[in-house]
Amino acid sequence: MPMPRVIFASTRDSDMHYAVKTPITSSFFYLEIGNRKLALLDKRDFGLLRFILRPNLRIKEIALEPLFEKAGKLKHKTSDRNKLAYLIFKKYGLMGRKVQVPIHFPLDMADFLRARGAKLVPTFPFFPERARKTKEEISCIEENLTHTKLAFRTIENILRRSKIKKNRIYYQNKIITSEFLKQEVEKALVEKGMFDMLGMIISSGEQTAIPHHIGTGPIRPHQPIVCDIFPRHRQSGYFSDMTRTYVKGNPSEKIMRMYKAVLKAQLAAMKKIPVSPAGGRAGVRAKEIYEAAASVIIKSGFDVGEIGLTHGLGHGVGLDIHEKPSLKPLSEDILEAGNIITVEPGLYYPGIGGVRIEDMILVTKTGFKNLTNYPKKLIIP
């Protein structure tokens, strides 16, 4: 019998969201014991699961109220929720047994339970199956990408219809800023039931040399504009993630060379994904994909490490924007059919700028499918 699993969180926690598939704003307890799945909720949220939950999940909803009263009588100096956790562990025979909890299980709750005999095993990934997307999850993410591509189209249209004057770009007689472009993207996403939960990147000029700079102020002509948009679908909770780099005007020779190298590295990395040419199962090591990209970068005369390609090549995407597998240089992950990963090489040089191109790839049994499938053009005239 597998170890029992316990989560205490709201569905802001992606493991909890994966478990119940219903957004619930307050924290509650989720238990898996053998074949039983239980959600212990307080009265405000009781009924929510029944109301929205897909019947095939077969999670039993249990009201916390009877335990509230008992908890009120406990004399321990701790929070009510810790007392509830203790009563739940006792009630369901979880004391003294090994129980898996996510690594974000509250530390004070863990301490309180352990002092009373709980054997908690912090586990990551908590649901390893999250890395292998089902058909349903794949179509969620494909739909998200359709909407995200519309957002890129919006940016391209604005830039195409704009004019350069001195060191600024004007659209409908106003200076284009990062803030303006982000707002236009947000509006386009909202119309499609998506939203920018984590804060997209639309940076330009010097800012682009810092990969995570979100971008502020006027967009620079003749310099890179990095657009990295990773919105979430409100209903399903799934993310998409894609990046394009543009230049309005005439990029420098150096930026054009960087762009070509990044594009070449991306294609080389993708080609590595079908490891088993005879049509067997996927099974390439994630770091080999990284290495394929890094080697193209170096052969193209650029750097890997402190400067140049400074970050990993990609990551899984699902209910978290970064999840398994990881395509970092030291990753021990092995790609499997059903993984949805980003392939996003980039080059960053302070004083010059940055370039990044990112697609989402489905790993299949025989190779890969580019789910993004969207044009890559640096220059917007």
CA distances from 126 to 14, 18, 89, 129, 315 (A): 10, 10, 19, 9, 17
Q: Can you read off the two tokens belonging to residue 194?
A: 């998506």
5 touches 100 (CB < 8 A): yes
Question: Which position among 38, 95, 110, 334 is part of the footprint of a second copy (CB under 8 A)?
Answer: 110
The reply on whether position 344 binds a second copy by CB under 8 A is no
The reply on whether position 197 binds a second copy by CB under 8 A is yes
Q: Looking at 140-148, 212-220, 277-285, 370-378, which segment touches a second copy (CB under 8 A)? A: 212-220
Q: Which residues contact 129 (CB under 8 A, 6 or more apart)?
A: none
Question: Which position among 98, 198, 280, 370 is part of the footprint of a second copy (CB under 8 A)?
Answer: 198
Question: Which position among 2, 35, 51, 351 is part of the footprint of a second copy (CB under 8 A)?
Answer: 51
CA distances from 242 to 15, 71, 85, 109 (A): 23, 48, 40, 38
Q: How far is the CB of 374 from a second copy (least distance, A)?
A: 23
Q: Mask of contacts with a second copy, 262-301, x by CB under 8 A?
A: ----------------------------------------
Please work out the total of residues on this chain that contact a second copy, with binding judged by CB under 8 A.
Answer: 54
Q: How far is the CB of 78 from a second copy (least distance, A)?
A: 11
* Residue closer to a second copy (CB basis): 57 or 379: 57
The reply on whether position 310 binds a second copy by CB under 8 A is yes
The reply on whether position 323 binds a second copy by CB under 8 A is no
The reply on whether position 207 binds a second copy by CB under 8 A is yes
For residues 220-259, which are near a second copy according to CB under 8 A? 234
* Residue closer to a second copy (CB basis): 230 or 368: 230
Closest CA to 235 of 363, 88, 136: 136
d(CA 335, CA 349): 31
d(CA 152, CA 147): 9
Amino acid code (one letter) for 116: R
Continuous H helices in 14-134: 14-20, 48-52, 65-73, 80-91, 107-114
d(CA 276, CA 282): 6
Q: Can you read off the two tokens belonging to residue 115?
A: 């002092």
The reply on whether position 53 binds a second copy by CB under 8 A is no
Q: How far is the CB of 234 from a second copy (least distance, A)?
A: 7
* Residue closer to a second copy (CB basis): 297 or 362: 297
The reply on whether position 23 binds a second copy by CB under 8 A is yes
C-alpha of 309 from chain center? 20
Residue with tokens 């004057």: 165
Q: Looking at 30-38, 105-113, 128-136, 238-246, which segment touches a second copy (CB under 8 A)? A: 105-113
* Residue closer to a second copy (CB basis): 235 or 276: 235
* DSSP letter string, 231-245: -EETTT--B--EEEE
The reply on whether position 128 binds a second copy by CB under 8 A is no
The reply on whether position 135 binds a second copy by CB under 8 A is no
Q: Which residues contact 135 (CB under 8 A, 6 or more apart)?
A: none
* Residue closer to a second copy (CB basis): 120 or 258: 120
Question: Which position among 55, 72, 277, 351 is part of the footprint of a second copy (CB under 8 A)?
Answer: 72
Closest CA to 284 of 358, 346, 343: 343
Interacting residue ranges for a second copy, rule: CB under 8 A: 12, 23-26, 43-45, 47-48, 51-52, 65, 72, 79-80, 101-111, 120, 122, 124, 179, 183, 186-187, 190-191, 193, 195-199, 207, 210-214, 216, 234, 306, 310-311, 330
